[in-house]
A and B are shown apart, each in its own frame.
Chain A
Amino acid sequence: MAASISGYTFSSVCYHSANSNSDHEGFLLGDVRQEETVSITDAQISAAELLQVVEIHNHDPCAQLFSFYDYAGKLNEENLNSILKDRRKNVIGWYRFRRNTQQQMSFREQIIHKQLTELLGVPDLVFLLFSFISTANSSTHALEYVLFRPSRKFNQRITLSIPNLGNTSQQEYKVSSVPNTSLNYTQVIKEHGAEFFDKDGVMKDIRTIFQVYSALQDKVQAVCGEVEESERVKEKIQEDVNKLKQQIALRKHKATEEERRLREAQNTDSHPTPEENTELSEASSLSRITFPTPSAPERPITSPNPPSYTDLLSQDDSLLSSSSPPTSAALLPRPQAVGSPGHPPPGPLGMGLGLGLGLGASSKPVATPSTPYLGNGDGSSSDSLDRQAAGQEDDEEDDDEDEDSSEYENLVSEAAHLPIASGSVLTQGRPAALGPDGDARGSQTT
């Protein structure tokens, strides 16, 4: 089985994923066709092989997670239909983008996939997993992608190719003719070859193909103009929606304040309520809403590096709400790979050795329950609670990814560049989600 996706669709998924501060998922639309390859071997005259080719034409991004399934992974067909509408018949797969995770389907993804396969009636539904990983200093980032075909027991991974221009070599032009003194040759090709040229000596095909190209480019420009218009309209309405949400939130905030004051006035001899905390959490939920709107180019706070994990741990967890507008990717820390200050090192496997170790060894980076970061261990945003239950299965299925560490060597310039985790980092507790024997498992010395 082979699969292909256009560079534009692929880039578009990357673009939507970059805009999302948590995991991102969506559906893959396209076609599956059979290609017959005939080969002749000594054993038989013709051996026809049927190759299934999955062509991904387009993707349908989901606006948010859990839009067609719940926390238990149970599918909601109604929601699914309202998302897909008439594109349902074109669905050949779905995709998920996660940060700092393993290249494996999570338990919930497997459950969802199974249900999707049955519901959509596509036995060979594919699943495209994108995982994003960065070096500790965020100077280099890698996006890995694997296409799974979970319905099969063997050969579950399919190579995904991106058709492209390939060879634009212009060396195929001939700068000289093969020398030939035959007069007959010269005469015949001149006489009959004249068919190809117009009165100016230009090949007719050139003009024709150029006309095809021109017409196509004109159409591209025209549609581009329409897209640009629609982007501006969408931007404007999004801005309006954000402003309205702000106003409603402000009104609610005022109402709550009013209520609280009334209550306080009634409790005359009670101690002052922890005003500051309430105000802080409300103010921060308000400030969350006053983040730069998605329509304007996000202007992150002018810090060269995203705030460290430990800084954000002290904030409240209002950022966990999935209804918050996408905040700048630069503001949110990415659970960094091995060697960054926010993460405990993989233990006996050493520090700063390679990001593969970050994946294989401490497979679930620090994700304390109060973390505000929307992507954690297996990259899903609100998964942390479920992972504690499902995490057991995940851990058991974990392969030791040490052999993959060599793949990540190119993400590490020199080991010296990566900051060595300080002793204080080592004391950061691992979440219980790692399993009953969390630490031992985390070090993965298998």
Chain B
Amino acid sequence: MAVSAVHLESDAFLVCMNHALSTEKEEVMGLCIGEAEPARIVHIHSVIILRRSDKRKDRVEISPEQLSAASTEAERLADMTGRPMRVVGWYHSHPHITVWPSHVDVRTQAMYQMLDQCFVGLIFSCFIEDKNTKTGRVLYTCFQSVQKGSEYERVEIPIHVVPREAIGKVCLESAVELPRILCQEEQDTYRKIHSLAHLDPVTKIHNGSVFTKNLCSQMSAVSGPLLQWLEDRLEQNKQSIVELQLEKERLLRELAAP
């Protein structure tokens, strides 16, 4: 197989989880940015959250514009890290459904592989609950596609999450993009509706209220918790910095001692 394993940095993993857990009513998706290393290992450094143009169930296709924007982002990351970065894969979520890729997913993956045989697919399955044991579950898998006759089949690719104690700048930026993307989607939809001229005032008020309601949902379900997490993380970091500083001083003293 073209890819022997995928190494996913833990801060990129964090962003994927954030994104996957943001909604249980539809599939979310994004692109993975990283590099292909020797021994056919794909190393994912960060992810980009994408807007879904077609929100039908299990239709996760990336438009050329999005791919292009992602490539630009990859170039930016390449400049920052000094390493060759590019779009190396895609991820999407399967809320309430099995983690295995559907036939559509496998076909979509096969299509991307035609452009880049190292392209990998990740799926995050969440909001699964076993009512009997009250056990919740989150799963993630990595796959590629291989042609078998006229059909495509899934190939399992080992995936490992690589520890990264500090969250990278690019991952943080990706994480805070989510509320912005959601708002943009809402605005675009509203603009189309608003441009319809023949609506009476009551209908217009209704539509305006729907927009307000949806934006409120986004703020309370996404922006709010995101802000809370950022503040908590900041607090934790401040505390860690103090503790690390003390340890550093202690070690310096130990080193200075004969």
- Interface, chain A (partner B; CB < 8 A): 6-12, 14-15, 18-21, 57-58, 60-61, 103, 135, 137-147, 157-160, 162-170, 172-178, 180, 186, 189-190, 193-194, 196-197, 202-203, 205-206, 209-210, 212-213, 216-217, 219-221, 223-224, 226-228, 230-235, 237-238, 240-241, 244-245, 247-248, 251, 294-295, 297-300, 302-306, 326-330, 404, 407, 410-411, 413, 417
Contacts and interface: CB of A to CB of B under 8 A. Distances in A.
Contacts of B203: 174, 176-178
Most buried by B among A21, A166, A238, A330: A330
Interface string B179-210: 11011011001100110101111111111111
A14 B138 contact: yes
Contact of B138 (A139, A143, A231, A305): A143
24 contacts: A7-B21, A8-B229, A135-B156, A138-B158, A139-B158, A139-B159, A141-B139, A145-B138, A147-B134, A164-B23, A166-B221, A170-B185, A174-B199, A190-B201, A205-B212, A206-B211, A213-B223, A217-B179, A224-B172, A231-B172, A248-B251, A295-B166, A302-B38, A410-B99
A142 B241 CA distance: 33
A103 B201 CA distance: 57
A8 B238 contact: no
A183 to B, nearest CB: 12
Most buried by A among B130, B208, B210: B208
A205 B209 contact: yes
Contacts of A18: 10, 13, 161, 163
A302 B207 contact: no
Interface in B121-166: 126-127, 129-130, 133-143, 154, 156-166
Nearest to A85: B239
Nearest to A19: B163
B205 A168 contact: no
B254 A203 contact: no
B231 A142 contact: no
B238 A230 contact: yes
Interface string B1-38: 00011010111011001100111111000000000011
B204 A144 contact: no
Given A205-B209, A244-B252, A304-B4, A15 B17 contact: yes
Nearest to A7: B21
Given A164-B22, A219-B227, A295-B166, A157 B133 contact: yes
Interface stretch (B39-47, B60-68, B104-112): B39-47
A197 B204 CA distance: 9
Interface residues of B, number: 119
Contacts of B39: 302-304
A223 B237 contact: no
A193 B200 CA distance: 10
B232 interface: yes
B225 A6 contact: yes
A7 B225 contact: yes
Given A143-B139, A177-B203, A206-B208, 7 more contacts: A19-B10, A196-B208, A213-B223, A223-B227, A234-B240, A237-B244, A237-B245
A105 B45 CA distance: 35
Given A237-B241, A248-B255, A173 B207 contact: yes
B114 to A, nearest CB: 22
Contacts of B141: 139-141
Contacts of A145: 135-138
A186 B198 CA distance: 13
A189 B200 CA distance: 8
B13 A241 contact: no
* Nearest 5 interchain pairs by C-beta: A7-B21, A193-B201, A203-B208, A139-B156, A304-B4
Given A240-B248, A244-B252, A174 B206 contact: yes
Contact of A166 (B45, B168, B217, B248): B217
B166 A231 contact: yes
B207 A140 contact: no
A18 B126 CA distance: 17
Contact of A140 (B140, B215, B223, B230): B140
A60 B216 CA distance: 29
B25 A300 contact: no
B160 A297 contact: no
B229 to A, nearest CB: 4
A227 B221 contact: no
A189 B206 CA distance: 12
A329 B160 contact: yes
Contact of A233 (B22, B199, B241, B252): B241
B122 to A, nearest CB: 11
Contacts of B227: 216, 219-220, 223
Given A11-B17, A330-B7, A238 B251 contact: no
